[in-house]
């Protein structure tokens, strides 16, 4: 069977789907396959091409390789090139396998039955499609990983004797985002941030630690609501804070998410809780016509059951010695793209980060990192990361408005939510985690220690109840270490001049000189 498409797609080009190449070059690997087979998939963030020059370099998300790296101008050539230099892109492979004949993969394996690349292709074909190829089981040879761990993060995995392939994919075919190894992520991983957090809290008293945990919990809950534009719902914020504090203690399943959605929403009289039974999107409505203006279109409601099952299975598989922050990335950002509920998705998305970090013992017991606060401080970066996939996804979704001005998706989009590159998301989340561990946690501990010292010095010469000391501290803080005339005329009118001087000096020594 001839699978050579070189006649039409081997010429040098300078643009590919509106993406400019650094120089005139020939498409290779996934870029070639997407182009040659007209695959309706979000383009991989990084693409490859072959130039005439003997210089390998990367620029503008293009990997430019030399003529000696050029693949054979066949389906086999470009598939092997992709696995070797670009890793596994499940979205591209799934769409490709859906349209080519199974005989084409069988021929590749039959020509190279012992090749690790052909066995990986064989395994990935059967894993993604659920179809068995007419090939005998492999009986000899070493096992090879389905996922090249020099390029992407995987789990220890389980062996597939049929292919002599170790299935180290972190998910199942229902849900399996992947993350590429980058210099940025490897630097974060080498910092052992979880151990650093444990060392930090190991130096403080149980009382300080308990108050730190309480403050950070409330800070994260407030920030999570603030991200959604809801900042004054004090009762719900406190209730949600208590829920976050229990993260990681219950198994992650649909019942648990439904329980949490109820806490997030509170009053469910005007909203159907549970999985959506209609379309969904994130965006606005056109002012006059009320037509939807989507920035992101959620997964079809018909696909939610399968997608959520896959998400929960990913959670279970990721417990097999997978990086906790990367696991949290894939699950939490996968959840927000799926958008399974009519409301509450954003807060549940951030809850999932806490759940995974706690479940995988990355977060110290009893302590929740204020991830939402770190996200809120970098809200523009957060939106950019979300859009890094949504904007590539949106043009591929065919939809029409419903009578209620929702969206009705017309094409099969499930795989778009099952398989995506979460590398940028992981780098963003690691940055947020590092900030909470290096800045927020030690700052809060330091503040509480200084506040306790301030309180002890005040009570050493002045008998004041705790509530009055709190009020005194707030007045001093608001007026940069000086008691205002209002405070001295009302709440603290009984103070003598020397007492005022002493209180202001204590505050200055405790806080002003250190911040």
For residue 246, which of 355, 88, 331 has the smallest C-alpha distance?
355
Ligand-binding annotation for 239, yes or no, is no
Ligand-binding annotation for 348, yes or no, is yes
Return the number of other C-beta atoms located less than 10 Å from residue 278's C-beta.
14
Catalytic position from the list 78, 163, 296, 339: 339
Q: What is the Cα–Cα distance from 330 to 202, expressed in whole angstroms?
A: 30
For residue 253, which of 183, 326, 305 has the smallest C-alpha distance?
305
Known catalytic residue at 339: yes
Q: What is the Cα–Cα distance from 276 to 292, expressed in whole angstroms?
A: 18
What is the rounded end-to-end Cα distance, in angstroms, of the chain? 73
Query: Would you tell me the crossing angle of helices 324-338 and 423-435 to the nearest 10 degrees?
Result: 120
Ligand-binding annotation for 343, yes or no, is yes
Ligand-binding annotation for 347, yes or no, is yes
Nearest-10 Cα torsion for 223, 225, 227, 230 = -130
Angle (CA) 323 326 330, round 5°: 135
Return the number of other C-beta atoms located less than 10 Å from residue 382's C-beta.
18
User: Quick one: DSSP state of residue 348?
Assistant: H
Ligand-binding annotation for 345, yes or no, is yes
User: Quick one: DSSP state of residue 27?
Assistant: E
Ligand-binding annotation for 193, yes or no, is no
Ligand-binding annotation for 349, yes or no, is yes
Backbone conformation region of residue 18, classed left if phi is above 0, alpha if psi is from -120 to 50, else beta: left
DSSP state letters, 309-342: HHHHHHHHHHTTT--HHHHHHHHHHHHHHH--BS
Ligand-binding annotation for 124, yes or no, is no
Question: Do 177 and 333 meet the contact criterion of CB atoms below 8 Å apart?
Answer: yes
With a CB cutoff of 8 Å and minimum separation 6, the contacts of 105 are: 97, 121, 122, 125, 133
Known binding-site positions: 343-350
Q: Report the catalytic residues.
A: 339
Known binding-site positions for ATP: 343-350
């Amino acid at each position: 069977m001839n699978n050579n498409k070189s006649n039409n797609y081997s010429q040098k080009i300078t643009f590919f789907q509106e993406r400019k190449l650094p120089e005139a070059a020939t498409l290779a690997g996934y870029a070639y396959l997407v182009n040659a087979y007209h695959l309706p998939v979000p383009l991989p963030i990084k693409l490859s091409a072959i130039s005439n020059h003997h210089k390998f370099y990367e620029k503008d998300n293009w990997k430019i390789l030399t003529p000696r790296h050029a693949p054979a101008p066949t389906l086999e050539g470009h598939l092997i090139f992709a696995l070797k230099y670009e890793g596994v892109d499940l979205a591209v492979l799934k769409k490709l396998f859906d349209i080519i004949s199974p005989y084409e993969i069988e021929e590749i394996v039959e020509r190279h039955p012992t090749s690790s690349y052909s066995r990986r292709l064989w395994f990935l074909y059967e894993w993604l499609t659920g179809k068995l190829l007419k090939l005998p089981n492999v009986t000899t040879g070493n096992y090879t990983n389905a996922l090249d761990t020099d390029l992407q993060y995987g789990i220890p995995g389980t062996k597939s004797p049929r292919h002599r392939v170790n299935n180290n994919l972190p998910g199942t075919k229902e849900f399996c985002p992947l993350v590429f190894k980058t210099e940025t992520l490897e630097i974060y991983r080498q910092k052992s941030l979880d151990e650093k957090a444990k060392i930090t809290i190991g130096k403080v008293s149980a009382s300080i630690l308990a108050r730190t945990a309480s403050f950070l919990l409330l800070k994260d809950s407030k920030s999570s609501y603030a991200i959604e534009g809801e900042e004054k719902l004090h009762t719900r914020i406190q209730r949600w804070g208590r829920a976050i504090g229990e993260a990681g203690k219950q198994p992650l399943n649909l019942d648990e998410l439904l329980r949490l959605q109820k806490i997030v929403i509170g009053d469910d009289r005007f909203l159907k809780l549970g999985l959506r039974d209609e379309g969904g999107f994130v965006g606005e409505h056109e002012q006059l016509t009320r037509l939807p203006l989507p920035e992101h279109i959620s997964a079809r409601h018909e696909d939610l059951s399968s997608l959520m099952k896959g998400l929960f299975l990913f959670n279970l598989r990721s417990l097999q010695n997978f990086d906790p922050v990367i696991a949290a990335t894939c699950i939490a950002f996968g959840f927000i793209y799926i958008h399974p509920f009519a409301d509450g998705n954003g807060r549940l998305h951030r809850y999932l980060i806490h759940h995974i970090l706690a479940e995988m013992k990355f977060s110290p017991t009893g302590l929740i990192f204020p991830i939402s606060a770190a996200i809120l401080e970098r809200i523009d970066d957060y939106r950019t990361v979300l859009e890094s996939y949504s904007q590539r996804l949106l043009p591929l979704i065919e939809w029409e408005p419903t009578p209620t001005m929702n969206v009705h998706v017309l094409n099969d989009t499930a795989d778009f939510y099952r398989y995506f590159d979460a590398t940028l998301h992981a780098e963003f989340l690691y940055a947020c985690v590092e900030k909470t561990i290096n800045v927020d946690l030690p700052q809060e501990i330091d503040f509480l220690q200084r506040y306790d010292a301030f309180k002890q010095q005040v009570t050493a010469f002045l008998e004041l109840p705790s509530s009055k000391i709190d009020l005194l501290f707030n007045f001093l803080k608001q007026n940069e270490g000086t008691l205002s005339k209002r405070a001295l005329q009302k709440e603290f009118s009984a103070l003598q001049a020397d007492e005022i001087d002493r209180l202001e000096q204590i505050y200055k020594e405790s806080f002003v000189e250190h911040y």
